[in-house]
Amino acid sequence: MSQEDNAGLIYVVGMSQLVVQLGTLGWLNLIRRMAAKLDLEHPDLAKGFVLRSLQIPCLLVISICIATAIAGLSGSLDPSLSKTLLYTAIVAFPLLINSILREYLAGFNRPTISVLYSETLPFALTIAALLAFRNPSLKAACACLVVSFLVSIAIQLRIIGPHLWQVLKTGNAAFQTGAWSRIAVLTAVGFGGKLLMDRMDTLLLTPIAGLDQLAFFNSATRLTGLLLLVPVILIPVFSPRVSKAFHEHDVRQLRFEVFLQLAAIAVTVVPAAIALQFSPNSLIAAIFGEKYASAGDIMWLIIIAQTLFAFALPFSNLMAMTNGEMQYAAASVVGFAVNFVLGLILIPKFSIWGAAVATLVGTASLSLILVVAGFRTLQLWPAVYHRAGRVS
Please check whether residue 160 is in contact with residue 101, taking contact to mean a CB–CB distance below 8 angstroms.
yes
| For residue 77, pLDDT beyond 70 | yes
Can you give the pTM of this predicted structure? 0.66
Please check whether residue 227 is in contact with residue 306, taking contact to mean a CB–CB distance below 8 angstroms.
yes
| Short-list 197, 218, 184, CA closest to 100 | 184
Please check whether residue 198 is in contact with residue 332, taking contact to mean a CB–CB distance below 8 angstroms.
no
Distances (CA, A) of 110 to 34, 54, 235: 14, 19, 12
Distances (CA, A) of 129 to 25, 123, 140, 328: 32, 10, 9, 38
What average pLDDT does the segment 130-156 reach? 88
Cα distance between residue 260 and residue 238, in whole Å = 10
| For residue 50, pLDDT beyond 80 | yes
Among 47-51, 221-225, 308-312, where is mean pLDDT lowest? Answer: 221-225
What average pLDDT does the segment 114-129 reach? 87
Please check whether residue 107 is in contact with residue 167, taking contact to mean a CB–CB distance below 8 angstroms.
no
Please check whether residue 335 is in contact with residue 259, taking contact to mean a CB–CB distance below 8 angstroms.
no
Q: How many CB atoms lie within 10 A of CB 1?
A: 16
| For residue 187, pLDDT beyond 80 | no
| For residue 135, pLDDT beyond 80 | no
Among 48-52, 265-269, 294-298, where is mean pLDDT lowest? Answer: 294-298
Cα distance between residue 378 and residue 392, in whole Å = 10
When comparing pLDDT for 190 and 46, which is higher?
46
What average pLDDT does the segment 273-296 reach? 85
pLDDT value of residue 51? 92
CA 71-199-61 angle, to 5 degrees, is 45
Domain ranges of the chain: 1-175, 182-392
What average pLDDT does the segment 8-23 reach? 85
Cα distance between residue 152 and residue 155, in whole Å = 5
pLDDT value of residue 269? 93
| For residue 281, pLDDT beyond 90 | no
pLDDT value of residue 387? 42
What average pLDDT does the segment 369-378 reach? 89
Among 76-80, 96-100, 119-123, 175-179, where is mean pLDDT lowest? Answer: 76-80
pLDDT tier for residue 206 given thresholds of 50, 70 and 90: low
